[in-house]
Amino acid sequence: MIRFEDVTKSFGKREILRGVNLEIEKGKTTVIFGVSGGGKSTIIKHMVGLLKPDSGVITVEGIRVDNADENTLREIRKKVGFLFQHGALFDSMNIRDNVAFPMMEHQKLTSKELEYKIDEKLTMVGLESKIVKSLYPEELSGGMRKRVGLARTLALEPEVILYDEPTSGLDPVTSDFITQMICRLRDEMGMTSVLISHDIAESFKAGDNYAMLFDGIIVEAGDKEAFQNSPNEVVQQFIHARSNGPIAFH
């Protein structure tokens, strides 16, 4: 579904991605592990063209993202939804308008269809649509804002969802809900998901495939069993979260 071939990216003199090779399988959840500041968000921003690589090729269903024009990027962003690390709701818009926004931008719906879809998406993420629609983001808890963010991501009915640390800073109930949601979307709709998470237990509940980013490259990738049994020391240290090793993890 998504493929990276020898992708490099520097910010200033710092080379963050040094030749990333990665394949995201359709209909599966792929977890990307890595240290804080290692370049995980940088990788998923490349998947929707929010960043351009210095070299290498990135494709979504065979379509080049790395050198895509604005029209192609628009099409890719309809297909690939992004749940940002920090909510990213519009504070000046109520919840209805936040969820409506991408649909108004990208789709031609009658007002009846639009209202139906707003209710449908808010209900999908476990919110009482009638109650929350008229509220503003600041009136909601962090967990509810995250659910609204997910409803907004679901609004365009994407084929892929990129989750950037979707549960960090959330209460356990909402974290668990998000994890279950990732699984339900896969099982019921065949959704492809990419998940970045610091919560290793949660990631092993949600994921099918795993990739370990370390020092700018993917040092290991495979399904859950292969990954958990990897002889790679970086992988073993990360999944067993030993803090006394030579590699500092957060």
Ligand X SMILES: Nc1ncnc2c1ncn2[C@@H]1O[C@H](COP(=O)(O)OP(=O)(O)O)[C@@H](O)[C@H]1O
* Interface residues toward ligand X, by CB under 6 A: 11, 16, 34, 36-42
Rounded to a whole number of angstroms, the minimum distance from the CB of residue 185 to ligand X is 22
Q: Which is nearer to Mg ion, 41 or 197 (CB)?
A: 41
Q: Which is nearer to Mg ion, 41 or 179 (CB)?
A: 41
Contact call for residue 42 and Mg ion (CB under 5 A)? no
Rounded to a whole number of angstroms, the minimum distance from the CB of residue 34 to ligand X is 5
Nearest to 23 by CA among 49, 41, 43: 43
d(CA 7, CA 63) in angstroms, rounded, equals 16
Q: Which is nearer to Mg ion, 41 or 230 (CB)?
A: 41
Rounded to a whole number of angstroms, the minimum distance from the CB of residue 49 to Mg ion is 18
d(CA 174, CA 105) in angstroms, rounded, equals 29
Say if CB 87 and CB 152 are below 8 A apart.
Answer: no
Rounded to a whole number of angstroms, the minimum distance from the CB of residue 150 to ligand X is 19
Q: How many distinct helices (H) and strands (E) make up the chain? A: 10, 10
Q: Which is nearer to ligand X, 75 or 215 (CB)?
A: 215
Query: Which tokens is 223 given?
Result: 């399904």
Contact call for residue 41 and Mg ion (CB under 5 A)? yes
For residue 163, the cross-strand partners are 83, 195
Contact call for residue 174 and Mg ion (CB under 5 A)? no
Which residue matches tokens 């990665």?
A: 22
Q: Interacting stretch for Mg ion, rule CB under 5 A, among 3-11, 40-48, 180-188, 232-240?
A: 40-48
Contact call for residue 197 and Mg ion (CB under 5 A)? no
Say if CB 208 and CB 27 are below 8 A apart.
Answer: no
C-alpha pair distances (Å), 5 with each of 37, 53, 89, 182, 218: 21, 11, 33, 26, 11
Rounded to a whole number of angstroms, the minimum distance from the CB of residue 212 to ligand X is 12
